[in-house]
Chain A
Amino acid sequence: MSSSSSPVQLELKAPPYPLDALEPYMSQKTLEFHWGKHHRGYVDNLNKQIVGTDLHGLTLEEIIVKSYNNGNPLPTFNNAAQAWFSIWNHDFFWSSMKPGGGGRPSGLVLELIEREFGSVEALLNEFKQAALTQFGSGWAWLGYKDGKIVVEKTANAVNPLVADYHPLLTVDVWEHAYYLDYQNRRPDFVSTFIENLLSWDAVSERLEEAIAKAA
């Protein structure tokens, strides 16, 4: 990703659609703050932190794993790790959604879901429950592990790169992700995400990559 003598300077990646493209389910105003302030803030913060340190030269994934340190985040890396995790999670979140999202999965995704959960509805119900029972800030995930689709949830900025599953989909359940549009109504936000924003195309692509990696 970079040579060991130059710091890793991250760029803020834009979502793969204009900021108003997810209306009315996720407002342009939310995207302007969530991407334009929160996500941008993590990138700026991290770039400030890594100047002159030995964090440069590692890949993003290597830094995350190293900083997480199997559940005991190293104090010196803690702030940097939070920023790294958060940047990765938000990039992944934007591309977990698309305008005209929702609908149903097909192909191998559908097959694996039905095999493991019985039905798409059962899977989505479990995913929704994970999102609603993540007390405080965090994320709910669909992942791929040992040939199966799994549902997981993580707190704050923790992400699956330190766990043992390949992420396929995520929803951000920090309050800033939905407060302007839904206020306290996290259940409404998560239902809307599932029905109108979720990109099954992204899930399929990521599943193919995960299977290829696992092979």
Chain B
Amino acid sequence: MAFCALVSKKALGSALRSGAADLGSGLCQIRRLQTFSLPDLSYDYGALEPAISGEIMKIHHQKHHQAYITNYNKALEQLDEAIQKGDTSKVVGLQSAIKFNGGGHINHSIFWKNLAPTNEGGGEPPKGALGWAIDADFGSFEALVQKMSSEGAALQGSGWVWLALDKELKKVRIETTANQLQSSMSCCSTLPGENFTGPPGDKGATSGSLLGIDVWEHAYYLQYKNVRPDYLKNIWKVINWKHASDAFDGEAA
């Protein structure tokens, strides 16, 4: 997403200066339109049962996440074309599709890493620096879990509940975001595992977000139906705190 903003800015700038006449040549040197693809899970679809059913994991990964990627790629292609033509209103009009679908790709890529089978450490509470930070900022691990569950349950409509590091205040915080918005404490993120660079000063992979839980209905409906609180009670059994701890150690350094 940062990459695309860079391309758009340059394209718009030169389009305005040159009247869009020579947009192509200036762009060709920096433009490399990347196509994104579905990351693999490091565990089988059924490996998170009974907390999350294999049926849900398969549809969530192969249908929902894939759809975000497909639509993100399509929007990027359309953006590229619109930039080449100097079609500013089309460029602007595509931003919501890019934000939504690109955001969905970012968030789900994080989510798969936030989960782990119980026989691979899923559910084991964090030790070390993240554990201490949680105790300091929430009183106890149990208090954090309870608060994050209740904020996730109270979220109206679709969205995510996050545990994130506020680097300025040096505190871990809970945050909810609507639809496919990212945690406000993750900035200019590269997509995990993919190689492209953002603008200078980019902080690298998903800075700030330690853990996200998808509370869109598709994340739980086939198994938990309307009872989102039950999903939120059970998901803690497969949360990958090791990944969150590693992220915390990386960010807090």
Contacts and interface: CB of A to CB of B under 8 A. Distances in A.
Interface of A: 33, 37-38, 41, 82, 135-138, 155-157, 174-176, 179-180, 183-184
A174 B217 contact: yes
A184 B63 contact: yes
Given A156-B157, A184-B63, A135 B226 contact: no
A138 B96 CA distance: 16
Contacts of B133: none
A186 B158 CA distance: 15
Contacts of B221: 175-176, 179-180
B59 A183 contact: yes
Given A136-B179, A155-B157, 16 more contacts: A135-B179, A135-B180, A136-B180, A137-B157, A137-B217, A175-B158, A176-B217, A176-B221, A179-B217, A180-B221, A183-B59, A183-B63, A184-B63, A184-B64, A184-B67, A184-B218
Contact of A136 (B64, B67, B158): B158
Contacts of B67: 184
Interface of B: 59, 63-64, 67, 96, 100, 156-159, 178-180, 216-218, 221-222, 225-226
Query: Max chain A CB contacts within 10 Å: which of B59, B180, B225?
Result: B225
B157 A174 contact: yes
Nearest to B63: A184
Nearest to B60: A184
A135 to B, nearest CB: 5
A93 to B, nearest CB: 16
A43 to B, nearest CB: 14
Contacts of A138: 157
A156 B156 CA distance: 7
17 contacts: A37-B225, A38-B226, A82-B156, A136-B157, A136-B216, A137-B158, A137-B217, A156-B156, A156-B157, A157-B157, A174-B157, A175-B216, A176-B217, A179-B218, A180-B222, A183-B59, A183-B222
Nearest to A137: B157
Contacts of A176: 217, 221, 226
Contact of B217 (A41, A82, A135, A175): A175
A15 B79 CA distance: 45
Nearest to B66: A184
